[in-house]
Amino acid sequence: MALAALIVLVGASGALGYWSAQANVQAAAATARTGVIQSASPAGLVNTYSATAQRFAGSITLQNTGSRTASYAVALVATSATQATLPAAIGVAAAPVASAAACTATAPLSGAQTGAASSFTATGVLAAGASVILCLQTSMTASATSTYAGSSASLVLRGRLEYAPSDTWRVAGADIALTQGVAAAPPAPTMACTDNNGWGIDLRFTESATAGDIHYRLFLARESSPGARVPFTAASAPNPWWPVVQISPGSSSLQTYLAAPNGGKGNTWLFVERSATGASGPWTQVASGRFRTEDSAQGLRTWCGWK
């Protein structure tokens, strides 16, 4: 009796990153003998979490080419980490979807099996000749990207079909290596700041590149959680010839930040990211600055530096 299994990992496209890999597994089971032929390409998959990239997704297609029903198990297991608790901070959710294209980082998953990358297994049943597309989503919280900044974890993805509770009737694919990292902590402040007597501040950064379709985007964050960033729109947007961010205590954007769950008054980070290829990115952080907001008898005020 011949049994075979095909396991394919297909990366989901999108701004937040994707996985793409492929493993083919063939096995033959006979009386008192089993065999496995397997291959995988590529060997490693990499994605990096940050304050602005906290979710990733990939889909796995399992096909049962055997002659009887089998149960399947897809496991995501940590093998090492630069911080031992990092894998437990990476959330995992998995559920069948209609197509690989339907598997995105933000797609709702009906009946998802959930857990953490420290040890996760999704299970199900496949009839002979049937297949399933399983969407896997991984995520980290904003605070976790700050806590584990600069860390990484090595994981393996393992797929298996079991036709009966015996090693003779199990076929498995080769481990597929995954490396999940967290962006490094923000650098020391690089922006020069000018006070306007509490009525506003100008934070200036150095810009030497003027060629290309240059765009900037801004983020604010509390001193204690630089990874939990809130998008910010300056009253006067910076440009390559005027690389200045102006922040007024009365601006609606600052008020939005102050009221945000990750915002608030006090010591504050400003981060500047740049894209040289238009508003769609990719984005690179080019500057960071520090300022603070304080209440006064005259109302809210903004000042350079921290206190």
Q: Can you list the pairs that 163-166 forms with residues at least 24 positions away whose Cβ atoms lie under 8 Å?
A: 163/3, 163/29, 163/66, 163/68, 163/69, 163/70
Q: What is the CA radius of gyration of the chain?
A: 25
- CATH code given to domain 2-182: 2.60.40
Q: For the segment 208-230, what is each residue's pLDDT rounded down to a tens digit?
A: 777 788 999 999 998 877 878 89
Tokens coding 11: 């990366």
Q: For the segment 135-145, what is each residue's pLDDT rounded down to a tens digit?
A: 888 999 988 88
Q: Indicate whether this model's pTM tops 0.75.
A: no
Q: What architecture is domain 192-304?
A: Sandwich (2.60)
The end-to-end CA distance of the chain, in Å, is 75
Strand, coil or helix: 100: helix
Predicted pLDDT at 156: 86
Q: For the segment 104-129, what is each residue's pLDDT rounded down to a tens digit?
A: 888 999 999 999 999 999 999 988 88
- What percentage of the chain's residues is helix, strand, coil (to nearest 5)? 5, 55, 40
Domains of the chain, by residue range, sit at 2-182, 192-304
192-304 matches 2-182 in CATH topology: yes
- Strand 215-222 and strand 266-275: the pairing is antiparallel
pLDDT exceeding 90 applies to what percent of the chain? 38
Full DSSP string of 169-224 = GEEEPPPEEEEEEEPPPP-S---EEEE-TTB-EEEE-------SB-EEEEEEEETT
In terms of Cα–Cα distance, which of 73, 17, 79 is closest to 45? 17
pLDDT grade, residue 46 (50/70/90)?
Answer: low
